[in-house]
Structures are given as structure tokens and as C-alpha cells.
Amino acid sequence: MAAGTHYLPGLTPTNEAPVQKSDDAAGYYVLGEKLVDPKTPTGPIADRWTTRKFENRLVNPANRRKLDVIIVGTGLAGGAAAATLGEAGYNVKSFCYQDSPRRAHSIAAQGGINASKNYKSDGDSDYRLFYDTVKGGDYRSRESNVYRLAEVSTNIIDQCVAQGVPFAREYGGLLDNRSFGGVQVSRTFYARGQTGQQLLLGAYQAMERQVAAGTVEQFTRHEMLDVIIVDDRARGIVARNMVTGEIETHLADAVVLATGGYGNVFYLSTNAMGSNVMAAWRAHRKGAYMANPCYTQIHPTCIPVTGAHQSKLTLMSESLRNDGRIWVPKNAEDCTKDPRNIPEADRDYFLERIYPAFGNLVPRDIASRAAKYMCDEGRGVGPEVEETQPDGSVKKFRRGVYLDLGAAIERLGKDKIEEKYDNLLDMYERITGENPYEVPMRIYPAVHYVMGGLWVDYELQTSVTGLFCTGEANFSDHGANRLGASALMQGLADGYFVLPNTITDYLADGPFDKIDESHPAVVEALDGVTSRVEKLMSINGERSVESIHKELGQIMWEYCGMDRREEGLKTAIGLIRELKKEFWTNVKVLGSAESLNQDLEKANRVADFIELGELMCIDALNRRESCGGHFRGESQTDEGEAMRHDDEFAYVAAWEFGGEDGAPILHKEDLIYTAIEMKQRSYK
Amino acid sequence: MKLTLKIWRQANASDKGAIKTYELDGVSQDMSFLEMLDLLNEQLLHNDEEPVAFDSDCREGICGTCSLMINGEAHGPEVTTTCQLHMRSFKDGDTITIEPWRASSFPIVRDLIVDRSAFDRIIQNGGYISANTGSAPEANSVPAPRDKAMRAFNTATCIGCGACVAACPNGSASLFLGAKITHLGELPQGQPERYSRVQTMLAQHDAEGFGGCTNIGECASACPKEIPLDVISQLNKDLRNSMILG
Ligand SMILES: Cc1cc2nc3c(=O)[nH]c(=O)nc-3n(C[C@H](O)[C@H](O)[C@H](O)COP(=O)(O)OP(=O)(O)OC[C@H]3O[C@@H](n4cnc5c(N)ncnc54)[C@H](O)[C@@H]3O)c2cc1C
Ligand code: SF4
Ligand code: FES
């Protein structure tokens, strides 16, 4: 059923609905009704988005001015949406917690962005990009959404080039591409190691143009602390002005959350310090379903941890895997030696050995686990770190493997490598104090991205009417594992092309009844936030917010990290429940709520991370299969490879908030494929 | 390592502010400068003293949020951002003075945090290419010569941190401005608005109270992204041309 056959992809189901037999999470959750209508159009897959765009109702330009849209988040997803909706003439209010929209975390993305332009004539197409993405995500994403993503990917590049994004170019002045993150075609567009920055500046500048035009109003240093729901529709947000401490309400006809990912639940991650789950979690508590929260992407090429002081981890773009060979010493005795003195014969290029077809370019989950196993075996390199085992004992490990640019430097020359990766290698040297042109770099996996997020339908609307969610904050496009260079693509697809089309259909029913600040639902939301802040300020215990966050992170990494098991997850849930009590009785926040107070900001965020952490563990416990970034130790082949159970788990787990002390309610959305046939992934 | 830290404390924009001195022990060479401040804050919290407020987010040298004057130098002694400065650049027993960016166009918000929204307003006044969503031509239909594209890229790396302003005795933002003018002006897509852009952006720069450039060059030596000084010549050249051609 490859592209180009007579078969019209999209017409007949290729799999049956799953039936779950195991019930590991029994007692921790309540089973709710199935989700049956994600509003996906039917028909040939290649026509679905065109059909939907045509079916969507439009809003007359004169009426757009009367419609207010709140967009929380100014990353690729939120910034692009604000620019586009502003340009279309809607009244947009844009929020971010940083001092400028340009600092949203999308800015940190290093490697690149995919698009099915087929500029290299290496057989790429929309269908192939779609196919690779669904397969790479281990068949846990919704096929219609992914096809649409592939379809608009080419427009993204056109749009960004027109805005002046300085992508890499060839000598003839045309755009250059590279292959990236486990893909065999060269479809990745890049701007050295700073692709995210350049794309974000494009969206930011487009948005600032609308600020000048008066269609977008920007609120910086404003943090959303709750969503306001009136008559079952999202009608606004409660936000804290982080400079004055004032708690404000902002009302609108629709609300969009583009607030990024929650990887900071692990404390150590490659995410920015302020990245949080608060907006999504507050929406979850008001009725928005949280889907597949346990799907965490662990990125194989980060700089290893050096000590307890560490506040975050730094990524080394995985484009380095194109030129770097990954190895560990064959003999554990060599692990403390200078790697330059270890002869070729004593090096184990483990990815090339185990996965000869893909070698160093296997997908991230596979590369990450392989590195972990090498270190577990005692063949890791770098400083020794102590780790608490599930049974409470302490063992020492070296958590690092070599990424060796030696051969590439010999083949291409130091200059070429420098030009390709410039700031990355400088950054490595600055952090580690070692010169990567001379000594092989040390890398280790780290938490990097989350595939879980608020459940959305095909229109990107959550289970709360009028509340939309885009970018990393939603769950829809990457399944259980995200291929490299596809998150940037999703952020911009959602922001420039998808949301601006789907939200208009919703807005065509508006303007909705005017509400004002005195509406009981608004007052209630405002009071709720105010009393939460007062509570946090009044506990006056012993523990810093930071120390509680660190403890949560250790629990999550140990039991809900790269290898999860039933017993560990149950232990974790117990520990997290205790930590929650500890937080609400013993946290210490100084200063006042009526001024800039960074500890208060953190306290608000960590409180939500704790609740999210528990749900992640329950979700992971329920899913007794290994797929993508979710590896359940109980589900592996004899050779130690991940084993999926499509017959039981080919569904999206959408969790409904079950009340303050109630169990979460699981709604399943069956994943039925019509344009692709599920296969076991094999990279051997 | 053991350090003596002299830190600017200021409760809010209207407070007078003053330097306070703190002793800090247990600093490791591997810590970033900001992790060293995290350690101090943990200590202050335990002594019931309010932690020092400072800005940071990515801690990877790319978002431009962190901003500290360290011993009188923007981002400290190395050519990098504060988050990428490591304590191996200091010695046991050192005394380190830490202040917020110094520039009247960047008013102090609290302690070490300043308000850099003037940069956003400069961008609002022409710091973009007007390209409506959905109507862009095929990306390869307009080739960009590689050397120009490289220069555009090199100047587009500005992270908007404001170190150039903080380092400049005149408080000028010419390096920041020149970087954006050069980035957009080197690309074929940027030509139609080239001369209006330089005029509107510069007008806003002046309206925000940033000083004029007298070619001192402190900006380029403080810039963590090594934006070259010649973007200011390009700015001036485009300005002259705009008077003739614009
Ligand atoms: C180091 C790193 C490298 C990466 N490299 C790549 C790559 O090469 N290719 C790729 O495709 N992807 C990459 N990714 C992933 C990709 O960058 C992100 O998934 C993507 O940029 C997320 O965009 P976003 O718009 O959804 O969210 P973000 O860019 O994270 O934006 C979130 C926005 O929400 C705001 N916000 C959050 N919470 C609140 C709140 N409560 N109130 C108000 N505002 C709030 C923030 O201020 C911010 O503006 C990388 C990620 C990291 C961390
Ligand atoms: S020109 Fe350099 S110093 Fe100035 S804002 Fe840009 S990156 Fe910072
Ligand atoms: S914190 Fe982002 S550049 Fe320093």
C-alpha cells in the first residue's frame, strides 16, 4: 500500500478496534465512555483537509473586528497564530510569561524543520512524510492530523523564507537540506544550530507587525493561572501580572492555549526554566481532557549531568549523529582512560553493531535506550554518579557515551565541521571544559519533549467548547515518539495554517453574548486563583519550592523515565501523594504576592507538576505495552526490543479530571488506520 | 570555592536600591553563574531573607533573557551569556559585584531585572518583512546568494539581550538595530521595505531614549553573539541612502 498504487488511501480500515485485556491500573482510575467523534472528515486521506477547509464557515471581514481571541503562548504555535489571526482582522490578546514574546522556548530548537519539498529528489512526498511520522510515532497518533501536517509542511517553508528566515543555502542560492533524526531522506531545513531561533524570530516579527497595526495586544510577564468557563464555553483567562502581582481577568470569544510542553515535571530537562504545565493543567481541572500524558521523549544527545547543583540539561543537536559515531569501550576497565588512547579494536560502536541498517541514525527512543543499557552494563564514561535503586540501595554509574566527530573531521576537515555546527561545539566546550575537536564528546539521554498534552479534535478544539490547543501543548501529531524536526513543523502548521482555518468555523457562531467582570463564573475563577495564591503565601513551612521540585523530578526519572515497570509506578504514585501533602503543608514562599516574586511563580507551577506527575504514572501503569518513548519493562521481545500490543492499546488515552479526591476517568479514542497499515517497527 | 558577592537589591522600580554583601561557600567550578545564584537564593531562603530576583529562562545562551553586569562587564568576563558563564572563570576567595543592566532606556523592575520592552517597540516599527500568511511564493523561486545569506544569518543571531546597550557609555542600541537592519537588508525579500525600515526603526530607537553612536565599540566587544561592529556602518549607509532613495 505504498504511495502511487491504485489504492486510494483513506477508504477502508486496516485494523480492528483494540480490546484491552490487562488492567494494571485497576483501582487507580475509573473507565469512562469511549470518545467517538474527533470530527475527522472521511474520504481519501489526501482530500480530507481540503474538504474541511471548504466546509468550514467563514467570518466576514467586517465582523472579525468584533471578535476577541485570547492566545496564551508566543512560541511557534502561539506567535504564528497571533500574527495570522491579527492579520485576518480579529482582535487578538497575546500572553507570555517572559519579558518578550521573542524569548518563548521554541527559540532553543537546534536541529531543523521537516518539509516534504523533495528538493533533493530522493523520493520524498507528502505521503512519505506522513508515513514516516506515523510509523516513527509507533502508530499512536491520529492519521488525519498527521497527513494534514505533512500536507501543509511545504507552505511553512515558503512562508518563512518570505519573512526573511535565513535558512542554510547552497552555492547556487537555493535552499539546502539535511537528513535528520532517524530519517532516510534529506527533508530537513535548517539554520545552523539555531533553527528554532530563526523560525521564532520570523513569527515574532510578524506578530509585532500586527501589534503596530493594532490587531494584536501583547501582555508580557503575564502568567495564566486559570481559564474562565461561562455556560460551558471558554470565555477568558485569569492571569497574574508578574511585575505588580495584580490578578487580572481577560475575556474573549475564544481561548487558545499554545503553552508548550511539561518536560520540567522531571526537574532536569532541556526545557527552559519557566516551562510549565499550569495553563493546560488548570484547563484540565475545568474539563479539558489530558491525553497520553505518559509519552515522554527522551533525547539521546544531551550533555551528561555533572552534579547535584545542576538546574537544567543542555541538548546537543542530534544532527551531530549524521557526522558523529557513537561508541563505548568494549572493556569496562577502559572507561576511565583517555578515549584517544583506546584503539579502534577496543571500541564498541554499539548502534552500528545492533542496528546495521540505520546505525547511528536510529530513532531517538532506540538510541536513548541503547545508551542507557551500555551504562547500566558498566561501560559508561565520564564522572561517576550515585543512583538510588528501586530497592533503596545506592549504586554508582558512569552516565555517558562517546559521540566521536574524529572520522568526520578527518574526512571533511575541521572547517567544514565548524561551519556546520559552530555554536554547538563552542557551547559544549563552555559547559564541559573539553574541546570536542580533540576529545570525543560525551552525551547521555535527557528529557526533551512530551508527546502527551491536552486532547484536541481535528479542529484543535479541546473537550471544552471554545478552548483550543496548539503546538507541543496538545497531543495530536507525534504518537508515542516524535521524530526529529517535526515539532517545529507542527508548531508552525498549527499556528499559521490549521488553527486560523478551524477557529473561524467556531467564531462564525459569534460574537457570543457579552459577559463582564461581574459575571458569577468570572468572579468565581478570580476568587479561586486569589485564594490559591494566598494559601501558598501563608503556609510558611520549611522547604523551598526548588527542593520539592527536585524530589518530584527524582521520583519521575527513576520510576517513570526510560524504563517503567508496574511495581515502580505504584511506588511512585504513593511517593507523589505524600509529596503533595508535604508541599501544601511545608512549603516556604517569602516576600509578598503584590510584587515580582519568583518563588511564588515557581510554587504555582510546581503544585501543578505534582498533580500531573501522578496522572503520568497512572497512564504509564495502565499502558502495559512498550511503544515509542514509553517503554514498559514487562513488554519486550527476547532480544530486549520494545513490544507493542496494538490489539489492546491502539487507542489514545484521554483522561478526564475526576475531582479533587476522585480517581481520573479514562476515555479511549480508538485509533483506526485507513491510509497506512500498522507494522512492528524494526530498525535492524 | 568561597565567594563574597556584592549584589544590587531594589524592591521595585521606585525603590532607591543599594548594594548588599553576601558570603557564599560551597561553589563548584562546574556551576554556571546562575546556578551559583540559585545556591545563594537557597541559602537566603533558609535565613528568611527574600531571594535575589534575576532573569533567566533557556539557560542555553539562546533566549537572551539573562542579563547581569558582573564586575562592571555585561555578562561578565567571557564573550558569552551569563547562563553560559561558568564558575571556572573565577577563583576561590573572589569578590564579585553583580548589578542589573545599566541604561535609562531599560528601567529596573526589581533587583537584577530590567524592562527591555523598548526592543519590542523598535521591532514593531519596521523590524520585519511584510509577508501575509498564505500568499508566499515557492521558497526556491527567489534564490539568495550564499554570501549574502550567510551575512544575513550571522546578524540574525542577535538574541536581543541588551548587553550592547548596557556596555555602551551612551546607552545606544545601534548594534541591536544594525543587526536587524543588516539581517533583513541582505535578503532579496527585504528590499522593498529596506529604506522605510531604517527610518522608522531609528526614529523609535531615538524616541525610546537610547543614545547616539559615537563609535566606541564597547557594544561589539560585549556582544555574546559576536555581532560585528560593521552592522553599524551598514545602518548608517542605509540611512544615507534612504534620504536619497527612500
Ligand atoms: C533544546 C531543544 C531543542 C529542540 N530542537 C528541535 C528541533 O531541532 N526540531 C524540532 O522540530 N523541534 C525541536 N524541539 C522541540 C520544539 O522546540 C518545541 O516542541 C516547540 O518549539 C514548542 O513550541 P510551542 O509553540 O508549542 O511552545 P513554546 O515555544 O514552548 O512556547 C510556550 C509559550 O507559552 C507561554 N506560556 C507557557 N505557560 C504559560 C502560562 N501559564 N501563562 C502565560 N504564558 C505561558 C510561554 O511564555 C511561551 O510563550 C526542541 C526542543 C528543545 C527543548
Ligand atoms: S547585538 Fe549582541 S549584545 Fe546587542 S542585543 Fe543583540 S546579541 Fe545582545
Ligand atoms: S537564560 Fe537564555 S540566554 Fe541566558
**CATH code (residue A568):** 1.20.58.100
Within a domain: residue A118?
no
A270 φ/ψ sector (left φ>0, alpha ψ -120 to 50, else beta): alpha
Within a domain: residue A314?
yes
Q: Which of A448, A465, A500 is the last residue of a domain?
A: A448
Are residues A432 and A561 located together in one domain of the fold?
no
Within a domain: residue A484?
no
Nearest chain B alpha carbon to A587: B45
Distance A321 CA to ligand 3 centre (A): 25
Q: Which residues are bridge partners to A396 per DSSP?
A: A386
* 3-state SS assignment for residue A150: helix
- Highest CATH level, class, for B117-245: mainly alpha
Q: Rounded CA gap, A51 and A10, in Å?
A: 13
pLDDT at position A389, please? 67
Amino acid A589 reads: V
Q: Do B45 and A590 touch (CB under 8 A)?
A: yes
Within a domain: residue A406?
yes
Q: Which CATH architecture has domain B3-110?
A: Roll (3.10)
In sequence order, which residues have a C-beta less than 8 Å from that of residue B233 and are 6 or more positions away? none
Quick: pLDDT tens for B138-163: 999 999 999 999 999 999 999 999 99
Q: How far is CA A232 from CA A224, A465, A549, A682, B159, in A?
A: 19, 7, 34, 46, 42
Q: Any residues with Cβ below 6 Å from ligand 3, and which?
A: B 56-59, 61-66, 81-83
Q: Rounded CA gap, B152 and A370, in Å?
A: 40
Cell of residue A216, nine digits: 494584536
Give A684's pLDDT tier (boundaries 50, 70, 90). Answer: confident
Chain A interface includes B87 (CB < 8 A)? no
Distance of CA A586 to the CA centre of its chain: 31
Q: Which of A573, A613, A641, A579 is nearest to A452 (CA)?
A: A613
Q: Do A191 and B153 touch (CB under 8 A)?
A: yes
Give A682's pLDDT tier (boundaries 50, 70, 90). Answer: confident
pLDDT at position A6, please? 56
The CATH number linked to A355 is 3.90.700.10
Quick: pLDDT tens for B90-101: 999 999 999 999
Q: Say which residue the cell 517503554 belongs to.
A: A631
Q: Rounded CA gap, A345 and A354, in Å?
A: 17
Burial of B221 (0-12, 13-18, 19+ CB in 10 A): middle
Average the pLDDT over A349-377 and give the result: 90
Number of domains in chain A: 2
Q: Give me the DSSP letters along A304-332.
A: PP--TT-----B--TTHHHHPEEEEESSG
pLDDT at position A9, please? 87
Nearest chain B alpha carbon to A108: B62
Q: Is B163 in the pocket of ligand 2 (CB under 6 A)?
A: yes
Average the pLDDT over A157-178 and give the result: 95
pLDDT at position A1, please? 42
Q: Say which residue the cell 568576563 belongs to.
A: B77
Within a domain: residue A555?
yes
Chain A interface includes B115 (CB < 8 A)? yes
Distance B82 CA to ligand 2 centre (A): 13
Q: Rounded CA gap, B32 and B164, in Å?
A: 22
What global pTM score does this model have? 0.96
Within a domain: residue A626?
yes
Q: Per-domain residue ranges for chain B?
A: 3-110, 117-245
Roughly how many angstroms between the first and final C-alpha of chain A, as a whole number?
22
Average the pLDDT over A63-70 and give the result: 96
Nearest Cβ partner for A164 among B32, B124, B190: B190
Q: Whose CA is nearest to atom 20 of ligand 1?
A: A106
Q: In whole numbers, what is the pLDDT of chain B averaged over residues? A: 97
DSSP-derived pairing of the beta strands A290-291 and A453-454: antiparallel
Q: Which of A259, A289, A215, A265 is nearest to A77 (CA)?
A: A259
Q: Rounded CA gap, A52 and A224, in Å?
A: 32
Within a domain: residue A602?
yes
ipTM of model: 0.98
Give B223's pLDDT tier (boundaries 50, 70, 90). Answer: very high
Quick: pLDDT tens for B37-46: 999 999 999 9
Quick: pLDDT tens for A12-45: 999 999 999 999 999 999 999 999 888 999 999 9
**Residue A279 CA, closest ligand 1 atom number:** 41
* 3-state SS assignment for residue A627: strand
Q: How far is CA A117 from CA A94, A141, A159, A163, B225, in A?
A: 32, 23, 13, 18, 32
Asked if B57 and B63 touch (Cβ cutoff 8 Å), the reply is yes
Within a domain: residue A578?
yes
Q: How far is CA A129 from CA A7, A123, A486, A558, in A?
A: 18, 10, 10, 34
Q: Which residues of B touch A161 (CB under 8 A)?
A: 136, 139, 142, 189
Average the pLDDT over A413-435 and give the result: 86
What count of other Cβ atoms lies within 10 Å of the Cβ of residue A578? 10
Distance A107 CA to ligand 1 centre (A): 7
Q: Do A108 and B86 touch (CB under 8 A)?
A: no
Quick: pLDDT tens for A96-114: 999 999 999 999 998 899 9
pLDDT at position A2, please? 47
Full domain range(s) for residue A385? 298-448
Note which residues in 287-326 of chain A have CB less than 8 A from chain B.
306-307, 309-312, 314-315
* Helices and strands per DSSP (H, E), number in chain A: 19, 22
Q: Which of A408, A431, A448 is the last residue of a domain?
A: A448
Handedness of CA A257, A260, A263, A265 (dihedral sign): negative
Q: Rounded CA gap, A546 and A549, in Å?
A: 5
Nearest Cβ partner for B62 among A108, A158, A204: A108
